[in-house]
């Protein structure tokens, strides 16, 4: 079956072409939506069949490379369009197409009546196509195609409502449009892409190939652990990951990316694209295993990002912004897992996070829809009775992300925290544990302010439950958020940790290199588990107490810690810092030095000068072309003399 993998990619491409080229000719909106969602559904089914077949075959028979054609050839170097089917890529494919399909269905309801309905589905299909290229690629270059492609789709979809203003929450007040947010996302990502590119060049230099197979197989023989080249390769790849996966220092684009339609935030900026960096590092696990210094940087950056984003999330009032910072924070967890050598833990969290974070965003979309585009949670409240399905599913997702057992988030987060402790150190665990408490707190602050307490909206608003097209995907995702973690129940809890066994062959070389001491059952694991449940419960209880019973406490705290509150409210002034230190100097430099002096003065001067010169030459040369055949014959004769002169007398 694995040879049918290209069709998984072909389906969304067809959807993109149909809606993109003939969208206007498709009369009914439903038909366009069904095509858009249908191709993703079919792709999911195909992927599931392939995974089913893989599961039925022995573990060493689960990896295949499907080569379509040679893409680039230059001398001895060549790259093919080749897809790698293995446990990791197919797991990601299932998540991308499965969650993607639900979000597409939801979008049929959410985007109903939008003039850009068909364009929306075309972009979404293109995104899925590119994302599948990213996760299924068999070499770095094809992965880079997907990497850039999802960036492009992200750009197109953030600025989807290109004529709408956009609140940046601080810098450039009142003037920004959603296209500015799109540009910001694109440009910040380009910085990361630069790292990815340089890393690719270095890989070609070291290995002479970009094929995953060859690079990973040869890496342990080419490099000693801790070699400088592999350090730089992995660090630069990680720079790429910080761009795509919104980590310090490049995370600033993700909160602004919320300017796009909410299903986009759910699919691209929560469930799939932003996990590309995690996937990429997991894919390159052997390279990272050879670069312990980079591993520490990855873990440190992940941890710092988790903490910084979670604290910012505490005070935000825009429902989507809270979720955006929560995403950044959860991605930080995933990088922490990768950094301490728990590649499985990182990928496991990618999957569970896709379920509950997509659910949270779609639920938020349902609320925004009901509240007529209101996103400020201070102006909501009391929505639970009005929107029962949205409320219950949102609550499940919030419990899942907070890490309450036995929901999905508990198992993946616990795996990460345990590995942070046992393979990283106590410090990693303490910070990760605190972030878990913060997460529970800000999520239930969000739940309480949105759904609980008194209604704080005006009489002009008539919120109502969303249509079935939107609530059914919510319910499916809610079920997944509940049961999704069961594939990763650790042995200490009597489970068989299916996902770890499934992914084991992919990470085996890296794990062999890292050679962690297997401690077996450690009573500490139970203690840590209990502590993390405790802090999650504490966070939830605290948030409910403050925001449902004693709202005055929140204001009191904000008042007493004024400077700290201001710091969080303004997101540590990072946007302002980047603006002052990087954006403005570059803008000024490119305006005065590069544009006015260099481009207009030097380059244009040279170009225009050359063009003038060539024209003069051209004008005089054409006079030789007299039109007189005898003259031509004389010219011919001169030519013959020249030829014979060169050939005989040289």
Partner 1 sequence: MDLLTPHLLSIGPLLTLVAVALLVLLLESIITKSEPVSFWTSVAGLLVSIGIAVPGIAVHGSAFGGMLRTGGSANYFSIIFFICALLTIVFSRDYLKKRDSVFGEFYLLILFATVGMVLMAAAADLIIVFLGIELMSICLYVLAGFIRGSVLSNESSLKYFLLGAFATGFLLYGIALLYGSTGSTSITFLTEHFETYASSRLFLAGIGLLIVGLAFKIGAVPFHMWVPDVYQGAPTPVSGFMATGAKAAAFSIIIGLFAQRFVHGVQIGTLLAILAAASMILGNVVAIAQTNVKRMLAYSSIAHAGYMLTGLAAGNAYGRDGILFYLLAYAFMNLGAFGLISFMEQEGEKHLTFDDYAGLGTTKPFLAVLMSVFMFSLAGIPPFAGFFGKYYIFVGAVQADMTWLAIVGVLMSVVSVFYYLRLVMVMYFQDTLIGQTASYSASSAAFVVLAALILLGLGVFPSSLLAIITTLY
- Tokens found for residue 424: 């990283």
> Could you tell me if 13 and 129 are in contact, meaning their C-beta atoms sit under 8 angstroms apart?
yes
Is residue 404 within 8 A of residue 482, CB to CB? The reply is no
Q: How far is CA 250 from CA 209, 246, 331, 437, 639, in A?
A: 29, 6, 13, 25, 64
CB of 79 to partner 1, least distance (A): 11
- Compute the least distance from the CB of residue 6 to partner 1, in Å: 16
Name the minimum Å distance from CB 75 to partner 1. 9
Nearest to residue 142, comparing CAs of 82, 97, 196, 195?
82
Q: How far is the CB of 650 from partner 1 (least distance, A)?
A: 5
Tell me which of 228, 580, 587, 640 binds partner 1, using CB under 8 A. 640
76 contributes a contact to partner 1 by CB under 8 A: no
Choose one: 176-184, 445-453, 572-580, 637-645; the region binding partner 1 (CB under 8 A).
637-645
Q: Contact letters (x/-) for partner 1, 256-295, by CB under 8 A? A: ----------------------------------------
What are the residue ranges of helices labelled H in 314-387? Answer: 319-339, 343-370
Using alpha carbons, select from 258, 231, 262 the residue that is nearest to residue 110. 262
Residues 157, 123, 103, 345: what is their CA dihedral angle, to the nearest 10 degrees?
A: -80
What are the residue ranges of helices labelled H in 420-569? Answer: 426-451, 468-483, 498-514, 523-544, 551-560, 562-569
Q: By CB under 8 A, name the one of 69, 76, 163, 520 that touches partner 1.
A: 69
Rounded least distance, CB 391 to partner 1, Å? 52
Strand partners, 165: 177
Are 158 and 257 contacting, i.e. CB atoms less than 8 angstroms apart? yes
Query: By CB under 8 A, is residue 636 in contact with partner 1?
Result: yes
Question: Do residues 159 and 219 lie in contact, with contact meaning Cβ atoms separated by under 8 Å?
Answer: no
Looking from the CA of 135 toward its CB, the CA atoms found within 13 Å total 30
Whose Cβ is closer to partner 1: residue 605's or residue 635's? 635
Output the smallest distance, CB 645 to partner 1, in A: 9
Q: Which is nearer to partner 1, 426 or 621 (CB)?
A: 621
Considering CB under 8 A, how many residues would be counted as binding partner 1? 30
**Least distance (Å) between residue 24 CB and partner 1:** 16
- Grouping H, G, I as helix, E, B as strand and the rest as coil, residue 48 is helix
30, 70, 496, 608: which one binds partner 1 (CB under 8 A): 70
CB of 149 to partner 1, least distance (A): 16
Residue 77 contacts partner 1 per CB under 8 A? no
Residue with Cβ nearer partner 1 (601 or 639): 639
Min dist. Cβ of residue 606 to partner 1 (A) = 12
Least CB distance from residue 118 to partner 1, whole Å?
A: 21
Q: How many residues does the chain have?
A: 650
Alpha carbons 578 and 80: distance in angstroms, whole number:
39
Chain-centroid distance of CA 342 in Å reads 20
With contacts defined by CB under 8 A, name the span among 144-152, 331-339, 458-466, 623-631 that binds partner 1. 623-631
Instruction: Build a one-symbol-per-residue string for 580-619: x at contacts with partner 1 by CB under 8 A, - elsewhere.
Output: -------------------------------x--xx-xxx
Q: What's the CA gap between 560 and 562, in Å, rounded?
A: 6
Torsion of the alpha carbons at 606, 610, 616 and 619, rounded to the nearest 10: -140
Nearer to partner 1, 517 or 647 (CB): 647
Q: Establish if 638 lies at the interface with partner 1 (CB under 8 A).
A: yes
Nearest in space to 439 (alpha carbons), one of 529, 345, 333: 333
Closer residue to partner 1 (CB): 57 or 78:
78
Which is closer to partner 1, CB of 530 or CB of 614?
614
Please, which residue, 79 or 440, has the CB nearer to partner 1? Answer: 79
Contact 332, 432 (CB under 8 A): no
> Binding to partner 1 by residue 67, rule CB under 8 A?
no
CA pair distance 371, 383, nearest whole angstrom: 10
**For residues 517 and 629, which CB has a smaller minimum distance to partner 1 in the complex?**
629
Q: What angle do CA 286, 340, 240 make, to 5 degrees?
A: 60
| 456 interacts with partner 1 by CB under 8 A | no
* One of 31, 55, 73, 602 touching partner 1 (CB under 8 A): 73
The answer to whether 24 contacts partner 1 (rule: CB under 8 A) is no
646 binds partner 1 (CB under 8 A): yes
Q: Give the other-Cβ count within 10 Å of 592's Cβ.
A: 11
Name the residue nearer to partner 1 (CB basis): 28 or 630: 630
Alpha-helix residue ranges (DSSP H) falling in 63-171: 87-110, 117-136, 140-158
User: Which residues would be at the binding site for partner 1 (CB under 8 A)?
Assistant: 69-70, 73, 78, 611, 614-615, 617-619, 621-622, 625, 627, 629, 631-633, 635-636, 638-640, 642-644, 646-648, 650
């Amino acid at each position: 079956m694995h040879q049918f993998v290209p069709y998984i990619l072909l389906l969304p491409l067809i959807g993109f072409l149909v809606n993109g080229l003939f969208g206007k000719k498709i009369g009914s909106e439903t038909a366009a939506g069904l095509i858009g969602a249908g191709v993703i559904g079919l792709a999911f089914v195909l992927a599931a069949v392939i995974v089913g077949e893989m599961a039925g075959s022995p573990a060493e028979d689960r990896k295949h490379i499907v080569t379509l054609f040679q893409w680039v050839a230059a001398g001895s170097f060549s790259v093919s369009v080749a897809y790698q089917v293995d446990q990791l890529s197919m797991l990601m494919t299932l998540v991308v197409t499965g969650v993607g399909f639900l979000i597409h269905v939801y979008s049929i309801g959410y985007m109903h009546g939008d003039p850009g309905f068909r364009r929306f589905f075309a972009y979404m299909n293109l995104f899925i196509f590119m994302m599948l290229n990213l996760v299924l690629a068999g070499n770095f270059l094809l992965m880079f195609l997907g990497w850039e492609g999802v960036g492009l789709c992200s750009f197109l979809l953030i600025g989807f409502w290109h004529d709408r203003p956009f609140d940046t929450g601080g810098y450039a007040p009142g003037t920004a449009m959603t296209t500015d947010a799109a540009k910001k996302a694109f440009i910040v990502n380009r910085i990361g892409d630069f790292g990815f590119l340089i890393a690719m060049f270095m890989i070609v230099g070291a290995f002479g190939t970009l094929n995953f197979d060859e690079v990973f197989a040869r890496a342990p023989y080419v490099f000693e652990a801790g070699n400088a080249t592999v350090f730089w390769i992995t660090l630069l790849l990680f720079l790429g990951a910080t761009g795509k996966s919104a980590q310090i220092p490049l995370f600033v684009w993700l909160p602004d990316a919320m300017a796009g339609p909410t299903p986009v935030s759910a699919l691209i900026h929560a469930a799939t694209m932003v996990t590309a960096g995690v996937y990429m590092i997991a894919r390159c696990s052997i390279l990272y295993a050879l670069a312990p210094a980079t591993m520490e940087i990855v873990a440190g950056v992940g941890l710092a990002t988790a903490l910084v984003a979670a604290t910012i999330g505490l005070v935000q009032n825009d429902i989507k912004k809270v979720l955006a910072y929560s995403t950044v924070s959860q991605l930080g967890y995933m990088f922490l897992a990768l950094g301490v050598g728990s590649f499985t833990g990182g990928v496991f969290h990618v999957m569970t996070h896709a379920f509950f974070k997509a659910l949270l965003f779609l639920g938020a979309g349902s609320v925004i829809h009901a509240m007529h585009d209101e996103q400020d949670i201070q102006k909501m409240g009391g929505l639970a009775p009005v929107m029962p399905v949205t409320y219950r599913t949102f609550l499940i997702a919030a419990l899942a992300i907070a890490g309450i057992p036995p929901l999905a988030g508990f198992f993946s987060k616990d795996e990460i925290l345990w590995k942070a402790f046992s393979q990283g150190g106590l410090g990693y665990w303490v910070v990760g544990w605190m972030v878990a408490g913060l997460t529970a707190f800000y999520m239930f602050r969000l739940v309480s302010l949105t759904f609980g307490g008194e209604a704080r909206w005006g009489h002009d608003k008539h919120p109502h439950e969303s249509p079935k097209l939107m609530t059914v995907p919510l319910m499916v995702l809610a079920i997944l958020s509940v049961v999704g973690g069961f594939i990763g129940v650790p042995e200490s809890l009597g489970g068989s940790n299916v996902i770890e066994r499934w992914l084991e062959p992919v990470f085996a070389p890296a794990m062999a290199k890292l050679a962690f001491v297997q401690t077996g059952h450690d009573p500490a694991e139970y203690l840590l588990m209990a502590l993390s449940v405790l802090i999650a419960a504490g966070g939830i209880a605290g948030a409910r107490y403050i925001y449902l019973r004693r709202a005055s406490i929140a204001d009191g705290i904000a008042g007493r810690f004024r400077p700290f509150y201001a710091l969080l409210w303004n997101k540590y002034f990072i946007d302002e810092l980047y603006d002052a230190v990087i954006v403005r100097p570059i803008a000024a430099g490119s305006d005065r030095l590069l544009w006015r002096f260099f481009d207009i003065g030097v380059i244009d001067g040279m170009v225009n000068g050359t063009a003038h010169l060539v024209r003069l030459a051209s004008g005089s040369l054409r006079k030789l072309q007299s039109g007189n055949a005898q003259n031509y014959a004389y010219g011919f004769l001169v030519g013959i003399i020249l030829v014979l002169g060169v050939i005989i007398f040289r």
